[in-house]
Chain A
Amino acid sequence: MDFDLVAFGDAFPRLLPAALTNLTIALVAMTLALIGGTVLTVLRTTGIGLLTGAIGVLISFIRGTPILVQIFLFYYGLPALGLDLTPIQAGVLAIALNSSIFITEIMRGGLSGMDPGPVEAAIALGVRARTIWTRVILPQLYIRILPPLVNELTTIVKGTALLSVITVVEVLRTAQQIANTTFRPLEALLAAAIVLFALNLAISQLGRRLETRFAARRG
């Protein structure tokens, strides 16, 4: 048994630029997922039976199937419907859809625990429903659910490694390529794990700082 420190160290110069791909994919997917999750959340409060029913089916489908299958469906399945996506596009969309489902569930939980008083005050002030959503409900909600949202972002970062299977050259796939040439899979994969771990550590630290910063505004 041996561990080649040099091979381990040599992996990083190639893995770090690849990590930028993971981070970019994660941030784009998170942005889309926040928008998607928010839209789903607002739609679910309309009380239109057909709409909330359809969203309910989508939620249980996404939660009940492996994300890897969802990624395959986007990359290998959609071309059959005439929608040809690049690996990165397919991956971003699959992760974003998956994550928006989890985010709308987080948001629903956050909404149910929110004080209705400020909304009532806004109604009494004559503020229209749309503005109440954008200026009163959603900002409070995002502040409230910041911790689970940050957690969701780290889940997304981990999910980006799955895109290696649809040929996206990110950290994991880069590590596999390194291992194929050095015959040192342990060193390359451990280095990849450390890079992804560092990324998530940075994200959760940033999340904690945001939480402190918004503490006074949680009410």
Chain B
Amino acid sequence: MSNSDAAPVAPIISVTGVSKWYGAFQVLTDVSLSVAKGEKVVICGPSGSGKSTLIRCLNQLEQHQQGSIVVDGIELGKSESAAQAVRREVGMVFQHFNLFPHLDLVQNCVLAPMSVRGMSRRAAEAMAVKLLERVRLGEHAHKYPSQLSGGQQQRAAIARALCMEPRVMLFDEPTSALDPEMVGEVLDTMRGLAAEGMTMMIVTHEMGFARQVADRVVFMDRGQIVEQAPPAAFFGAPVHERTRRFLSQVLH
């Protein structure tokens, strides 16, 4: 698959020298990262390393204070309309699913396409049903989130994000809140998406998944990118001591 040093295509995500503070505490320190179209980047690192904060800056759920973030040609941080324009193109999947509890799965899926993209109810519902079937939730399309398992809810959340036909998908620890037996079904759905060429940035502790699916693994610690490499090199020959220590803790 494409790699950062492959073709001279403009990256779809370009993060340059980004820093961010919560009060006096610096969560991101001079982070630079670019992601090519179709690339799958896994971000890992100990908790508190800033990995979630970084991907939340990409759709401006968090604001960065220094540096520049350009997504799909739009520079973020300049205006609210830039953030809105990026959010139309970037889907996000959360650790706790964050489905709308008062709406059934189809209505969860059509809310944004109808209100943001101005789709007709009919077209939006047709697409919702199609995507819910794709994540194998066709027979649950008219159930409410509380009636589904965690794995089903997370697959529904993926379908909801896909209904906006995003160009990039961000995953913020999508399997961390799941019971172990449900992790597989969510990762399978993500593998399917990867196989179709979606650009993906995934914060996860699932190193097996990273090894199989990622084009590149990024290791963060204390708000900085310590090391990034294709999975074979990353897992086979990590350069930095901190990376080795982290990997020895998560791989057994």
Contact = CB atoms under 8 A, between A and B. Distances in A.
Interface string A197-216: 00000000000000000101
A115 B98 CA distance: 9
B202 to A, nearest CB: 15
Interface residues of A, number: 23
B26 interface: no
Nearest to B86: A126
Main secondary structure of the interface of B (DSSP, over half): mixed
B115 interface: yes
Interface stretch (A72-80, A103-111, A128-136): A128-136
B102 A140 contact: yes
B84 interface: yes
B158 to A, nearest CB: 12
A216 B98 contact: no
A64 interface: no
Given A122-B111, A127-B112, A136-B100, A219 B145 contact: yes
Contacts of A118: 98-101
Given A117-B94, A135-B111, A140-B100, A219 B116 contact: no
B96 interface: yes
Interface in A176-219: 214, 216-219
Given A120-B61, A123-B61, A126-B88, A219 B112 contact: no
Interface residues of B, number: 29
A162 B183 CA distance: 60
Main secondary structure of the interface of A (DSSP, over half): helix
Most buried by B among A118, A123, A126: A126
Nearest to B112: A125
30 contacts: A117-B94, A118-B98, A120-B94, A120-B98, A121-B98, A121-B99, A121-B160, A122-B112, A123-B87, A124-B59, A124-B61, A124-B92, A125-B116, A125-B161, A126-B84, A126-B87, A126-B112, A127-B111, A127-B115, A127-B116, A128-B84, A140-B102, A143-B102, A216-B146, A217-B144, A217-B146, A218-B146, A219-B101, A219-B144, A219-B146
Interface of A: 115, 117-118, 120-128, 131, 135-136, 139-140, 143, 214, 216-219
B69 interface: no
A126 B146 CA distance: 24
